[in-house]
Amino acid sequence: MQLADKIGEGNFRECFAVQNEPGLCVKSLKPQPGFFRRLSIFVLRRDINREEYDIYNRLPEDLKPYFNPVLEFTEDYLVTSRPLDFDGKHSRPVCEYGRISNALFWEEIEKILLLFEKHNIWFFDAFLKGRNVFVKKLSEDAWVPIIVDYKRLGWKAYPVQINLLLDSEKKRKFYRYFRRFESNFRDK
């Protein structure tokens, strides 16, 4: 598998396109994370790629269609699918659209919220700054959300937050991030 252009990055990893494979991307650890991020990886997230792989595989079946699948992992990298629109173009993050008025997109977001409630799952970084939710266009008028990064489940998030050992605190943080997401990107 030959890596192509860097297409994104987070706190711990960078994401690369795969040459001649438009439907794949590879996440790998940053080569030079800062001291505190290195410490966080070493102490709390030693196997970050396995963590994301396991989280995807443990998702309830009714939630999986809203998440970008993890296909394989090693200690060094994670291979995921890369969302593609109906026309073959790569799906883009919500933050690149600005305000979105597509009714189907927001109906699907509401379904995701109900499923998170039902299963008591609080991926509070999913809605962080509109970077982890992508708009997948099924047609010109039918858009759906795809969550592409979803490993922060609690206190091990960067920076460490002991209060997130409590589900009530995770839920509170999740809705705080979601309300900000909705306020910034929902065109009413």
Backbone φ, ψ for residue 107 (5° rounding) = -65, -40
User: DSSP string covering 127-163, please?
Assistant: TGGGTSEEEEESSSS-EEEEE------STTSSSP-GG
| Distance separating alpha carbons of residues 176 and 160, to the nearest angstrom | 18
Which CA distances in Å does 119 have to 5, 23, 78, 113, 160?
A: 37, 29, 25, 10, 24
Strongest mean pLDDT among 11-15, 105-109, 127-131? 105-109
Q: What is the mean pLDDT of the chain?
A: 88
| Distance separating alpha carbons of residues 2 and 29, to the nearest angstrom | 16
User: Where is 180: in which H helix or E strand?
Assistant: helix 167-185
Average pLDDT rounded to a whole number, residues 23-30: 90
What tens digit of pLDDT does each residue of 33-69 get?
A: 666 566 566 555 667 788 889 989 999 999 999 999 9
Say yes or no to pLDDT of 158 above 60.
no
User: Which residue type is seen at 186?
Assistant: R
- Tokens read off for 100: 């979105």
Say yes or no to pLDDT of 159 above 80.
no
Least confident of 96-100, 170-174, 179-183: 170-174
Burial class (CB in 10 A: 0-12, 13-18, 19+), 92: middle
What tens digit of pLDDT does each residue of 117-142 get?
A: 999 998 888 898 899 999 999 999 99
Q: Between 82 and 152, whose confidence is greater?
A: 82
